[in-house]
Structure 1
């Protein structure tokens, strides 16, 4: 049997060696490529992480910038408790003496029926003479008050001759000046026009407008008695009440009204009569 020649054997071995070398080179190439690709992927993942971190930091910076640029909160001043006046106490009894407003001689109205009056507040009650005087003057000088008729008023002092005195007194002193045991309402007795502190401070529950309008009503009502007007009652439901109606007790179907001449020209009258009640709830006193 013929043996293959040595040349052919070397030639075959060389061929296989070349093939192995080729395969090894290919493998190396593949490994290199994979390594490159893997590195690229790994770099890409790292870059994404870095980019995400960078975005987060940017957003945080912008948020902090936005927060720092927000306007400062507006500071609201809380009311100072010391600036809030305490309500005036209601004492059942004062000391029975009076402080008078200084007379000015000022006159309001042009009517021929001229009334000189002075103003007094009972001592020992903590009632404000200046406040009472201001409300009384503003009421009686108003064009809707009695000066819309044939009446004029002049404010005089304690030692001047007066046609009546407008008093603001404790409930007890009211009973003394009015010669009546009633301590819940105001009154007029002769030349004494008496406003009860209980109503001055608290008005009445059914008077739905403000306290100031009730005060004007009660001054006009009691002064009206001194001018010669008697009690009247509501003439028509849901219309303003006559000022001479006893609105302190009830409205009788009318609406509250502080003025004898609501339009400044015509006296608002009602049928003669009295309500006389119902009795008011008992007042609470601070003494």
Structure 2
């Protein structure tokens, strides 16, 4: 059975403002405190879910104190990388069907449903947005919450390989370089791929914003960074050395980091700047 740590977060709404009481956990985001005669009382908070194939469903619930004008309630679930994981809005029900929808009692103004999670999903913080549909057909987002999902699998570090980088470049001439990055937990587990740059005297380059890890992208934005195909695991960028730089041997270090904080191997290559 999936380990679920649940508690109710009681939230009191008024027409103009929201009051949180005691030490109860707050909504991460409140969009509308009250709409017409529809008033949210609480959501069933989920702090942590650890995946187990014996029961991969998670039950989500939202409780109302009044529902006049309410035609329906649904939710959307977003992954740690802000990708929508449900194909269409997931409808919640107040039908007492605990087996199918996770709802305990019909007509108690608590709307619930289950959603199946997969061991292939990302580890990390998920965001749930609750959306109501009014009788006139308009929709409003009324609340959101966050929870942590853990697949229960040990997270393996990413690997970088197949560096393409010229060994000699000219000043004031743009050049493109790329590297392949792979992760045993899937490309979606890669947080970033970057390079570090060192002058001939060994000084690491840091820009005016204090950044010394410069990104390579896999977003298909050829004009912006030279990457041709998004999501193929090939991370790319381009660079131009101005004619004011010190000529000589510059060192590039290439590394990837995954969302668990694991660091890949580092590939180093020297480039002669002439």
What TM-score bracket applies, with the shorter chain setting the length? Answer: under 0.3
The structure carrying a bigger helix percent of its residues is 1
The structure carrying a bigger strand percent of its residues is 2
TM-score by length of 2: 0.22
